[in-house]
Amino acid sequence: MASKKNLVIVESPTKVKAIKKFLGGGYEVAASNGHVRDLPKSRLGIDTDHDYEPQYITIRGKGDLLAALRKQAAKADHIYLATDPDREGEAISWHLITALKLDAHPEKCSRITFNEITKGAVKESLKHARSIDMHLVDAQQARRVLDRVVGYRISPLLWEKIKRGLSAGRVQSVALRIICDREDEIAAFIPKEYWTLDVSLAVAGEKKPLVARYWGDESGKKEIESKAQLDAIVKDLSGASYHIEEIRTTERTKKPPLPFTTSTLQQQASSALNFSTQKTMRVAQQLYEGIDIKGEGTVGLITYLRTDSTRISDEAANAASAYIDKQYGSKYVGSAEQTTEKKERIQDAHEAIRPTDVTRTPSAVKDSLTREQFRLYQLIWKRFVASRMASARYETTAVHIAAGRHIFHVSATRTVFDGFMNVYTDEDNVPEKNVLMKGITKETGLAFDAFEEKQHFTTPPPHFTEAALVHDLEALGIGRPSTYAPTISTILARHYITKENRNLYVTELGEAVNKLMKDNFPDIVDVHFTATMEQQLDDVAEGDVPWKQLIEKFYPSLDAAVAQAEKVLEKVTIADEETDVICEHCGRHMVIKYGPHGKFLACPGFPECRNTMPYYEKIGVACPKCGQDVVIRKTRKGRRYYGCIGNPDCDFMVWQKPSKIRCEKCGGVMLEKGGKLVCMDENCGFTCDRPDNDDE
């Protein structure tokens, strides 16, 4: 009897070799190279008059590949569709059935999924072959159609009114809005003065002084808000004696971190390794798909990288506990109940991101990995091992020192048991590390030595980094694990935002796009609306809502908003505004156009005349240093600032817009901060309301 022939189709060619090795004879393995069918690029591709039916076509360039797959499928007794274990992978398998003309023989096709590319996982998946999960497919179709109608209906307005080649997106527009809102918050922030007062005390029998910080008085904790308030406290303390009023020692525990999800991996790789979200996903994909390890062949080093679950399998948990017991001792083995984070909705039946074999240590595979692969694998391995270890315990000693009616405070922390921190630490789980002198008691004698007074100012909210943006997108329910990296990459590529020293800044182009979206499509850029839409997509995946019902509710309001925006914007021209600057090549009046980083001057005679010039937008304020015009300028990467128009010797430069109004107190430059004007000199600190006509 002839042996049965099986065909396994995966997404990536990288997986083919490893999976073929695991399955051996009787199995052919081929790759689809991702999607094989999609909506056409040249048109909307959705029949809005007939039940919003998507009009899928074969992706250009995939014809030969599909022809080869059809031949292989025709020879096979059974076809296993082994695309990635998520909505996107489910949809690719569904499209493959149509593209390979397998609809007529459903008994020949099965869907299999595995969370890791290891021999055990791949062989086990064959025992659980199933049919296509149409709920997952429909959730992907709904997301694809929603994204398509938003992009194809709104983007042409951006092309017409701002610049060709721009795009609007359902998730990217909200991400841009979030960044713009933060920039507005930073621009409007007014620093608030406060002071700290430290006292240095000589301790009987000790060489080093004890330094304590002012805490408050007998009525409670107090902030020192001004120099006058501080001077009054110092005056009140004149001649006071200092004594230890209370020493309190407490022991606390620090729980181990949970294993990585997609978003926490992106955040930690950004903080610890300075990886962009895109780079993190690219390198993680390599580790998942398989690395040629010396002595082992090609093997997947980590589990599937797109997940928001912190669950791990019992087998992996037991292997980790055994490894920890052997390497570190039984006291380092964590308890079983510390495993997962409780979330309202965990996407997909995935595990957290973890090593496929905990005994495959980073040092053991280092020689087989690139530097980037090693660093990311080490981060994942350490985080996973730490997640299965015992909690750390540390002891905190707080000392309250009384002087008259005033109280000073000093504390220190000592690690009692390092637990998981033996393997893994980050800025979130390192306890404070002050050291108190040994033997200090309530009877310890103290003598005043000196005060140290310091002025401080509150700081604005930080600019978003990629890690912080991913954190907020996840917390707000915007997007899903697979969308964070491409969303950020898109708005960077469109030059809506720029990145400098890890921070994300909005460009002039991004501000123009965000304003148009907020004014004309408030729902699209509304955080709550978008988060609700994500929940409804999850409902589709659960089988609770038919996918076309979502589109039926959404599309008519979008269609109406586009029609209204076209009317409103009909007479609005953002680009191609004529100026009084004459082209030195052909004598035409130069016009304002938008480039990747904002406005520039271009000759309207293009393509005959290709002359361009920088566009310096005057703000009607004279430079306080040299008297020339202050204009809006851009950094090399497109971040906006205000500087002098043309004097090379003048170094005046500020990030906030200067006002014509000068400071009443010191005569200095006033900066616009929301509805206020604030003196540029922090030592002056004068603030006043901004007049309504200050922009005129």
Report whether pLDDT(596) > 80.
no
pLDDT of residue 440: 82
pLDDT, mean of residues 552-557: 94
48-57, 169-178, 655-664, 680-689 — which is least confidently predicted?
Answer: 680-689
Catalytic-labelled residue, pool 304, 328, 484, 505: 304
pLDDT of residue 425: 83
Do 273 and 248 belong together in one domain?
Answer: no
The reply to whether 621 falls in a domain is no
Report whether pLDDT(420) > 50.
yes
User: Is pLDDT larger for residue 302 or for residue 14?
Assistant: 302
pLDDT, mean of residues 391-406: 93
The CATH number covering residue 230 comes to 2.70.20.10
User: Is pLDDT larger for residue 442 or for residue 180?
Assistant: 180
Do 72 and 145 belong together in one domain?
Answer: no
Report whether 46 contacts 52 (CB < 8 A).
yes
Non-local (6+) Cβ contacts of 13 within 8 A are: 31, 33
Give the chain's end-to-end CA distance (angstroms, integer): 91
How does residue 348 score in pLDDT terms, banded at 50, 70 and 90?
Answer: very low
- What angle (nearest 5°) sits at the alpha carbon of residue 689, between those of residues 686 and 691? 125
Helices (H) and strands (E) in the chain, counts: 17, 31
How does residue 428 score in pLDDT terms, banded at 50, 70 and 90?
Answer: low
pLDDT, mean of residues 688-696: 69
Q: Taking the C-alpha atoms of 563, 569, 570 and 573 in order, what is their torsion angle to the nearest 10 degrees?
A: -150
**Count of residues for the chain?**
696
What average pLDDT does the structure give for the chain? Answer: 90
Reduced to 3 states, what is the DSSP secondary structure of residue 473?
Answer: helix
Kindly report, residue by residue over 26-77, the tens digit of the pLDDT: 999 999 999 999 999 999 999 999 899 999 999 999 999 999 999 999 999 9
User: Rounded CA gap, 626 and 624, in Å?
Assistant: 6
Do 434 and 516 belong together in one domain?
Answer: no
Per-position b or e across 162-174, b if 16+ CB within 10 A of its CB: bbeebbbbbbbbb
Radius of gyration of the chain (CA): 31
**Boundary of a domain, candidates 111, 132, 153:** 132
Please say whether the dihedral angle defined by the alpha carbons of residues 474, 479, 480 and 484, taken in this order, is positive or negative.
negative
pLDDT of residue 605: 86
User: Rounded CA gap, 355 and 247, in Å?
Assistant: 45
Reduced to 3 states, what is the DSSP secondary structure of residue 500?
Answer: strand
pLDDT, mean of residues 363-387: 97
Share of the chain above pLDDT 90, in %: 65
> In Å, how far are 157, 573, 601, 607 from 604, measured between CA atoms?
21, 15, 9, 8
Q: What letter represents residue 221's amino acid?
A: K
pLDDT, mean of residues 502-512: 91
Report whether pLDDT(432) > 60.
no
**Boundary of a domain, candidates 571, 586, 604:** 571
How does residue 336 score in pLDDT terms, banded at 50, 70 and 90?
Answer: low
pLDDT, mean of residues 596-615: 84
The CATH number covering residue 81 comes to 3.40.50.140
Residue 251, judged by CB atoms within 10 A of its CB (0-12, 13-18, 19+), counts as exposed
The number of angstroms, rounded, from the C-alpha of 82 to the middle of its chain's C-alpha atoms is 30
The reply to whether 676 falls in a domain is no
pLDDT, mean of residues 288-317: 92
User: Rounded CA gap, 24 and 14, in Å?
Assistant: 17
Kindly report, residue by residue over 216-239, the tens digit of the pLDDT: 998 999 999 999 999 999 999 999
Non-local (6+) Cβ contacts of 659 within 8 A are: 621, 669, 670, 671, 672, 677, 690, 694
User: Is pLDDT larger for residue 559 or for residue 1?
Assistant: 559
Do 168 and 100 belong together in one domain?
Answer: no
How does residue 1 score in pLDDT terms, banded at 50, 70 and 90?
Answer: very low
Do 298 and 323 belong together in one domain?
Answer: yes
pLDDT of residue 592: 84
Mode of pairing for the β-strands spanning 640-644 and 653-654:
antiparallel
Do 564 and 583 belong together in one domain?
Answer: no
The number of angstroms, rounded, from the C-alpha of 23 to the middle of its chain's C-alpha atoms is 38
Do 274 and 225 belong together in one domain?
Answer: no
pLDDT of residue 331: 96
Report whether pLDDT(430) > 70.
no
Report whether pLDDT(161) > 70.
yes
Do 101 and 250 belong together in one domain?
Answer: no
Number of domains in the chain: 5
Report whether 257 contacts 383 (CB < 8 A).
yes
The number of angstroms, rounded, from the C-alpha of 9 to the middle of its chain's C-alpha atoms is 33
Share of the chain above pLDDT 70, in %: 94
pLDDT of residue 541: 93
pLDDT of residue 433: 54
Report whether pLDDT(488) > 50.
yes
Report whether pLDDT(342) > 70.
no
Structural domain that includes position 219: 193-255+392-419+428-457
Place of tokens 């971190």: 257
pLDDT of residue 370: 96
What the block records as the tokens of 481 is 């694990």
Please say whether the dihedral angle defined by the alpha carbons of residues 212, 216, 218 and 220, taken in this order, is positive or negative.
negative
Which residues are paired to 355 by β-bridges? 302
pLDDT, mean of residues 467-485: 93
**Boundary of a domain, candidates 571, 605, 623:** 571
Report whether pLDDT(413) > 90.
no
Do 273 and 382 belong together in one domain?
Answer: yes
Single pTM value for the model: 0.87
pLDDT of residue 578: 79
Rounded to 10 deg, the angle between the 508-520 and 134-161 helix axes is: 110
Do 268 and 382 belong together in one domain?
Answer: yes
User: Rounded CA gap, 114 and 189, in Å?
Assistant: 50
User: Rounded CA gap, 227 and 645, in Å?
Assistant: 39
> In Å, how far are 252, 339, 414 from 417, measured between CA atoms?
11, 20, 9
The reply to whether 640 falls in a domain is no
Report whether pLDDT(426) > 50.
yes
Nearest to 537 by CA among 120, 25, 88, 172: 88
pLDDT of residue 414: 86
pLDDT, mean of residues 64-93: 95
User: Rounded CA gap, 471 and 475, in Å?
Assistant: 6
Kindly report, residue by residue over 641-650, the tens digit of the pLDDT: 888 887 677 8
Report whether pLDDT(341) > 80.
no
pLDDT of residue 148: 95
> In Å, how far are 73, 80, 115, 402, 650 from 93, measured between CA atoms?
14, 9, 16, 72, 63
User: Is pLDDT larger for residue 388 or for residue 637?
Assistant: 388
Report whether 51 contacts 548 (CB < 8 A).
yes
Rounded to 10 deg, the angle between the 484-493 and 466-476 helix axes is: 130
Do 579 and 605 belong together in one domain?
Answer: yes
Report whether pLDDT(581) > 60.
yes
Classify 45 in phi/psi space as left (phi over 0), alpha (psi -120 to 50) or beta: left
> In Å, how far are 166, 575, 582, 640 from 599, measured between CA atoms?
14, 8, 17, 11
The reply to whether 628 falls in a domain is no
pLDDT of residue 224: 96
pLDDT of residue 681: 85
pLDDT of residue 599: 79
Report whether 112 contacts 7 (CB < 8 A).
no
304 flagged as catalytic: yes
The reply to whether 623 falls in a domain is no
Do 231 and 379 belong together in one domain?
Answer: no
pLDDT of residue 24: 85
The reply to whether 632 falls in a domain is no
How does residue 121 score in pLDDT terms, banded at 50, 70 and 90?
Answer: very high
pLDDT of residue 694: 55
pLDDT, mean of residues 454-463: 92
pLDDT of residue 114: 94
Report whether pLDDT(346) > 50.
no
The reply to whether 639 falls in a domain is no
The reply to whether 679 falls in a domain is no
Non-local (6+) Cβ contacts of 560 within 8 A are: none
Place of tokens 């899903």: 480
The CATH number covering residue 180 comes to 1.10.460.10
